[in-house]
Structure 1
Amino acid sequence: MYGQVPTPPPARATGPSAATITVRVLITVLVVLSLGFLAWVAMLRIAIMRRSGRDWALFWVHLAFNIACVVPLEQRFAGTWMNTAGMVVLLVQMAVVTCYFLVVDIRHHQPAPVVIMVPPPPVRPPYPYRPTGHVPAPQPPTAPQPFIAPQLFTAPQPPAAPRIDQVRAELDELSDLLRTHREDDGRP
């Protein structure tokens, strides 16, 4: 119940599939070989892939801008500055859209980083656990004791007989005192 939580093995980070890479290459080649005329296809792919309002707005703005650059390329504008400006803007647009498409597509298909959450170790109390609910009072710090070298040979201790005799004598006196006190009270 409180043991280690098993963690699943980390998922292997896989890259984009072969189909995704094929679509990426085809759209890039399509935009470059059409000299930017079909750059709106790359923007449409991004809008469909990410499904955000910002990407759809960029697609529609880019489509309108692409059409505005193609109109001056008609035969009636041949040899004018409008024809040259339209082609230069179309080529710049091709380069910008190609780079934008590749960056967005690569980031979109990048695998998410794998994060493994490992639970922290259980917190142990600083004192031994006592199930009675008794918490020991903190002990005051003790002063360091000087080092005393152990003695290898100790002198034999004298027998403890004199002390025992003294204790017996005091107990006999105490017994006599209690007897006299009881006799004074009139008890046997």
Structure 2
Amino acid sequence: MHGHGAAPPTRTSGTVITLRVLFAIAGFLSCGLLACVPLFRVAMLRGRWADWVLAWISVPLSIGCLAVVGSVPESDPRGDAALATVLILGAVSGAYFVVFDIRHHHGPPPTGTTPPQPSAYAPSQPGYGYPAAAPYPAVPPAPTPPNPYLPGPPSPQPQRPAPARIDQVRAELDELSDYLRRHEDGR
């Protein structure tokens, strides 16, 4: 979409806050029906199996509670309990998302170091996809971690020659094309 070597556009702090608010209120304002949305966002960003399990459990829980609310009479206390459960689920999932998102965007605490995480754009196996982009030059640690959604200094990326594999495939296709033309002319 952005071409080889072009970075996706950066998000401003206003966009980050707007997305944070929308994800946080989605579960509660939909009466718990969309309580899974902030939980799936946390699971995608964090990638831990516990977050995925929590997100997938919230789907049948909210649907089941709303089914109980719709199937019992208004005077039945089970309907009140189910509605309270689904609203609490929506509020807790939103609060969990906000806490995680704030911690995620402010980085790790300054006392500990974390191992580098694999890039989402880097290929998982060597030899497949585009070559990995050159890493940014090391920057001395700042008193506060930089916000990844604020624009930083531009980093020019040098043009790379086409990989040898593409040239090989191109040559093989040319040979195949010549072969097919010769056999087509012979008929």
With normalisation by structure 1, the TM-score equals 0.47
With normalisation by structure 2, the TM-score equals 0.48
Larger radius of gyration: 1
